Amino acid sequence: METKSSNNKPLISFFIIAFILAWGLISVAIAKNYGWIDLEIPVEPFLIIGSWVPNIAAFLVLAIVLKRNGGITELLKGWLKFKVSAFWYIVTTFPLILAAMSIFIYKLLFGVAPVNDIMYDPVGLIALMIMITITGAMGEELGWRGFALPRLQSRTSALRASILLGLIWVLWHSPLWFAGIGFEEIPFLAYAIIGVSFTVLVTWACNNSRGSLLIASLFHLTLNVSVNIIENKALYILAFLFMALAVIVVLVYGYSKLSKASELPIDKNTYEWTS
């Protein structure tokens, strides 16, 4: 059992491990990009492993800091929570809908559709889908939404927890802008707005789906698809739409729980999602 005061230690440990491991791995790509090292090594394996760091950090905290028998197994079970309302599966498609709306609005304003070339390359699109599924979508959500989110919500409102986690999530990704892998072409402010708004939305989905990490992972997958199918010049429109949707959700469901339920599905003793 964790007390509220002891709840800080595993949470802080999780964030420290997540940042040290991920930034350490991405530093290889950064050093290569700036010519600090002259090694003929591919950076992709470091990026793929780095994308799994949030999950790995959660596993390490559960096993070493909390010493919780079966804790990792319980966390993994979040991926098996598929018996939820069909509405939440529909919700996971919202990023794709917002991307389509962004393309439509941009074309109305500027006369051209800001669609990335990947949309016209079936093989490349399939490869992209596979890559973003096994990296961000699967590699992060056990950590961010399975481990960190319920603990943050045990201390503050769902909205504040989401904004804090969203800002941390954006900061965690920030070294990618120095790695020479294309992120430097993405407007960072637009990315940050999307990241924080998305975090509010995925908290809403988790709080209303009994902490389904399947829903969270699918949501993350469609988020990644949405930002890959439109050109960077249209990302500010996408960011505005994400923010508008997050505001609507907060107004309708309330900032306290982002849910109409009387209690969130979070165990008050372990600060984990309930079964």
pTM of the model: 0.95
Can you tell me the distance from the alpha carbon of 52 to that of 143, in angstroms, rounded to the nearest whole number? 9
Can you tell me the distance from the alpha carbon of 146 to that of 58, in angstroms, rounded to the nearest whole number? 8
Q: Can you give the pLDDT at residue 6?
A: 56
Q: How many residues does the chain have?
A: 275
Burial class (CB in 10 A: 0-12, 13-18, 19+), 189: exposed
Q: Can you give the pLDDT at residue 135?
A: 87
Can you tell me the distance from the alpha carbon of 153 to that of 160, in angstroms, rounded to the nearest whole number? 8
Pair 235, 227: CB distance under 8 Å = yes
Q: Can you give the pLDDT at residue 128?
A: 84
pLDDT digits (tens, 9 = 90+) for 230-265: 999 999 999 999 999 999 999 999 999 999 999 999
Q: Can you give the pLDDT at residue 4?
A: 54
pLDDT digits (tens, 9 = 90+) for 3-23: 555 568 999 999 999 999 999
Which residues, other chains included, contact 175 with Cβ-Cβ below 8 Å and sequence gap of 6+?
Answer: 22, 23, 26, 27, 30
Burial class (CB in 10 A: 0-12, 13-18, 19+), 130: exposed
Pair 200, 163: CB distance under 8 Å = yes
| Range 74-101 burial, b when 16+ CB lie within 10 A, else e | bbeebbebeebeeebbebbebbeebbee
Task: Dig out the tokens for 101 from the structure.
Answer: 């709306």
Q: Can you give the pLDDT at residue 7?
A: 64
